[in-house]
Amino acid sequence: MSKEKELLIKARQSMKEKKEEVADDYYRLQYHIMPPAGLLNDPNGFIHFDGEYHLFHQLYPFDTTHGSKFWAHLKSTDLVNWQELPLALAPANPYESHGCYSGSAVDNDGTLTLIYTGNVKDEADNRETYQCLAVTEDGINFNKLGPVIKNQPTGYTRHFRDPKVWQKDGQWYMVIGTQTIDQEGRVLLFTSADLKEWELVGEVAGSNLGQLDDFGYMWECPDLFRLDDKEVLIAAPQGVAAEENLYNNIYQNGYLVGDLDYQTGQLEHNGFRELDQGFDFYASQTTLDEQGRRILLAWMGLPDQEEYYVERDNGWVHTLTIPRVLELGADNQVLQKPVSEMKKLRGAKEEYHNLKLQDEIIKLAGINGDVLELIAEFEIEDAAEFGVKLRCAADGSEETVITYDQETSELSFDRSNSGRGEDGVRRCEIDETEQLQLHFFMDTSSIELFVNDGKKVFTTRIYPQPSSQDIKFFAHSGAVKLNQVRKWELNN
Ligand code: FRU
């Protein structure tokens, strides 16, 4: 039996053995993509191919650590109902012995083709990286074609990974994350006629290039695509210093908008902006579908902080975000909106209209729960602060608090009393001063909050007790109108 086959069988067996331990966990999500067991991280190979969405993700099937990664594989016709397929890639060959790391998928003239990083480490922890191809004829079994780029170009370190490939005017292009020998994070552009012979075009963006001073020692997981008449580069810089409300997570995930010069590789851009204001968002990847939508998914977690994620004790860890459509808004801001297919999950509905809160905190009959979609539309009056408390315990011991502060125009997301797991507060400024729309997707241990039609998003894991299910609305020192509250139970 081939080493690949042997590893795939071992992985499947190991995940099967943990199935019951995993299934008993309340924090297992109801409508998000999770590993059957083991550790999930980056989404990979997201593509709309032959009428179906294929999505892969990084997986260590044997336990909840960052071991040698496999690629797990799912597919869907609607982005909501996903079918789990057999694992696609196992780290079986010498050029990928320490992991089939992140990468992307393309449609190469009708053949679904994966491009990923083969990660190799020796006993002294020295790294080598190979960019590799794998193809499938049946959409399930993958044949590895081996490395097409062996190690990094001169001037860069072996932190050289996460190829994202696309085709333009019959030519292939690839962005890849790396680090210069002076420890500056960079994204490089390569080009190829056949996916096999690749040529370096140049540096797209990075730390201490253009206006990005001291912006990280490594840039991971790049993605580059056109949105309206602009190019958007997504990247995950590591080593960016926190600045007030910005860059508060261990590593960042954000974007640059501008114009790409395909001859030099350079992106003329207007600075880096974070994609998400929450605690748990990283390594996002996009694809274009047949309807022309640019859809993004991310890992709802971060590297190097495994201890924050409580489900780790139950044989699995991490989840992906729900899929979001990207749009370019005013001032070239990238907006994120939940895909409309999410409405398929909607069950029983409760709604209220034209309420007013005046120095009070209220509950509304039927507006409570843990797995739900909630839309609250506020019209701002003179309340100094107002907002929503989610997952509140009856005895007051737990709550997750979203507060708008009128004086600072800041919205805060406070998980200091959210139960188990890591606590803290994240804040961001809101431009609108008259209305505030809060659109929540809640699952057993996650909250994704879309503010004012996707202008800001907070993505966060929380670990309250199962019984903490109250929702409260509040206004302090003045009044706010609550024009609309709508809640749907979500059924998978
Ligand atoms: C980002 C990352 C990638 C790498 C992968 C390994 O989270 O570190 O750079 O390819 O995870 O699992």
Position 156 scores a pLDDT of 98
Which protein residue has the closest C-alpha to ligand 1 atom 6? 101
Domain identity same for 351 and 465? yes
Q: Give the model's pLDDT for residue 23.
A: 92
Considering 316, 338, 360, which residue would you say is the last residue of a domain?
A: 338
- Tell whether 282 and 359 lie within a shared domain: no
Decide: pTM greater than 0.90.
Answer: yes
pLDDT tens digits for range 276-309: 999 999 999 999 999 999 999 999 999 999 889 9
Q: Are 7 and 132 found together in one domain?
A: yes
User: Tokens in use for 283?
Assistant: 């390594």
Q: Distance between CA 136 and CA 56 in Å, rounded?
A: 14
Q: Which residues approach ligand 1 with their CB closer than 6 A?
A: 41-42, 58, 69, 101-102, 117, 161-162, 220-221, 283, 303
Q: Which of 289, 313, 338 is the last residue of a domain?
A: 338
Distance of CA 251 to the CA centre of its chain: 13
From ligand 1's centre to the CA of 103, what distance in Å?
9
Task: Name the band, by pLDDT with cuts 50, 70 and 90, for residue 386.
Answer: very high
Which atom of ligand 1 lies closest to the CA of 69? 12
Nearest to residue 101, comparing CAs of 63, 56, 145?
56
Task: Show the domain range for 486.
Answer: 346-490
Residue 42 a catalytic site member:
yes
For residues 118 and 112, what is the distance between their CA atoms, to the nearest angstrom?
19
Residue 492 pLDDT > 80, yes or no?
no
Residue 124's pLDDT is 82
CATH number of the domain that residue 142 is part of: 2.115.10.20
Q: In sequence order, what DSSP letters do the residues of 220-247 get, joined into one string?
A: EEEEEEEETTEEEEEEEEESPPPBTTBS
Domains held by the chain: number: 2
**3-class SS of residue 3:** helix
The CATH number of the domain where 375 resides is what?
A: 2.60.120.560
**What is the Å distance from ligand 1's center to 408 Cα?**
37
Domain stop point among 322, 338, 354: 338
Token duo for residue 78: 């609607």
**Cα of 129 to ligand 1 centre, how many Å?**
12
Identify the active-site residue in 25, 42, 280, 453.
Answer: 42
Which element (helix H / strand E) includes 81? none
The CA-based angle 211-104-132, given to 5 degrees, is 105
**CB-CB contact of 344 with 80 (8 Å):** yes
